Amino acid sequence: MLRIGLLGAGRIGHVHARAISAHPQSELIAVADVVKESASKLAAQYGVEARSNEDIIGDAAIDAVLIATSTNTHSDLIESVTRAGKAVLCEKPVDLSLARAQACRNAVAATKRPVMIGFNRRFDPNFAALKAAVDRGEIGKSELLSITSFDPAPPPVSYVKVSGGLFRDMMIHDFDMACWMMGSLPQKVTAIGTSIVDPEIGKAGDVDTAVVTLTFANGRIAVIKNSRRASYGYDQRIEFLGSEGLLSAGNVLENTVSKATKAGVVSAKPEYFFLERYMRSYAAEWAAFVEAVTNASAVPVTLDDGVNALAVAEAATLSAKSGTTVDIASVMK
Ligand SMILES: NC(=O)c1ccc[n+]([C@@H]2O[C@H](COP(=O)([O-])OP(=O)(O)OC[C@H]3O[C@@H](n4cnc5c(N)ncnc54)[C@H](O)[C@@H]3O)[C@@H](O)[C@H]2O)c1
């Protein structure tokens, strides 16, 4: 049984508390949050203790820590927890700064403790099945990947200001998905972004609508489209074209009823947002972490994967600002 401390009792902290408690081989021991009331509320829900970060990190009886705090705290906490000899599952992104994330990776290497990054979409059953089919060679040589990822509604501008921007905060999931599907980092990144959904997002220095083209070795291409607003819900689709065919994974709908009349055929909307659409993926992600730590095998999403996705985000941010294509090698140094 893995004994777990949870840092961060916000939106995603609640999701993780549920996954930890539901798993037969992990036990939630304590919850921490800088806002003590948030920690106490979540802890009470699971009948566990609310403690400070330091208490949890220093407790020899806790085996692993799940970091679900705000992004700007991730690298510092990953370093503290691994220094204390514990395993980590940390939410994306590793940091707002690529240089800081790289330093964190180097510090963690010295501790030899496992660190997994929360790219939960890899554990979505549909995307996982698509990737498995690619790996079995079912579409031959992979050529053109297309990822659509639209949120139902933009976040408040106060969130945008501290998020690190759309490329680091939102499209980072799609950068990881593209690297995972293609099996490598891209060589070149070209990004275009605008703030046509909410001009206030533009005033805050961010974009809310963006298209990024990634060029991989052997001329393979990935195109990623993000928007902070899709009036019909959370739009999450992937298409992968190869020399022998096309794989596609569509949206998961709120129900499977469709109505066909003279006026046309109507079906339900996509599940509303990530808490609905990806709930199964968070449980599968947690199960994969527990299995890796329990068996002392490699975690399926590494700190390197987190640093790589952040490097692509940094290149995309630079490309959108400069209007030029950015070589990944130039940001990785
Ligand atoms: N994988 C996903 O699908 C997904 C979804 C949402 C958020 N996230 C990531 O999870 C992280 C948290 O996002 P959220 O939406 O839950 O935000 P949130 O603001 O709802 O929760 C963050 C919590 O962390 C607490 N906190 C901040 N600094 C802390 C510190 N030093 N120590 C302890 N607690 C601290 C805050 O008080 C807050 O309660 C972000 O990095 C975000 O990018 C990932």
8 lines ligand 1 (CB under 6 A): yes
Q: Is residue 64 located within the same domain as residue 208?
A: no
Question: What's the pLDDT at 232?
Answer: 96
**Which pLDDT does position 333 carry in this prediction?**
75
Does 147 have pLDDT greater than 90? yes
CATH number, position 183: 3.30.360.10
Mean pLDDT to the nearest integer, 125-145: 98
**Domain residue limits at 232:** 122-277+309-331
Quick check: CB of 68 below 6 Å from ligand 1?
Answer: yes
Which pLDDT value is given to residue 246? 98
Tell me, yes or no, whether 211 lies in a domain: yes
Distance CA 316, CA 312 (A): 6
Q: Residue 53: CB within 6 Å of ligand 1? A: yes
pLDDT per residue as tens digits for the range 50-102? 999 999 999 999 999 999 999 999 999 999 999 999 999 999 999 999 999 99
The whole model's pTM is what?
A: 0.97
Type of residue found at 291 = E
The reply to whether 93 and 189 lie within a common domain is no
Q: How far is the CA of 110 from the centre of ligand 1 (A)?
A: 27
| Ligand 1 neighbour 73 (Cβ under 6 A) | yes
Find out whether 306 and 101 touch, Cβ atoms under 8 Å.
Answer: yes
Question: What CATH number should be reported for the domain holding residue 106?
Answer: 3.40.50.720
Q: Is the dihedral of CA 109, 100, 97, 51 positive or negative?
A: positive
Q: How far is CA 76 from the centre of its chain?
A: 19
> How wide is the angle at C-alpha 239 spanned by C-alphas 237 and 243, nearest 5°?
170
Domain count, the chain: 2
Average pLDDT over residues 139-155: 97
Q: pLDDT at residue 9 above 90?
A: yes
**C-alpha 72 – ligand 1 centre gap (Å):** 9
Task: Determine whether the shortest distance from the Cβ of 71 to ligand 1 is under 6 A.
Answer: yes
Residue 142: pLDDT band with limits 50, 70, 90: very high
Does residue 301 sit within a domain?
no
Average pLDDT over residues 283-297: 98
Give the residue from 113, 130, 157 where a domain finishes. Answer: 113
Cα angle 54, 57, 59 (rounded to 5 degrees) comes to 105
**Four-residue CA torsion sign, 110, 113, 119, 124:** positive
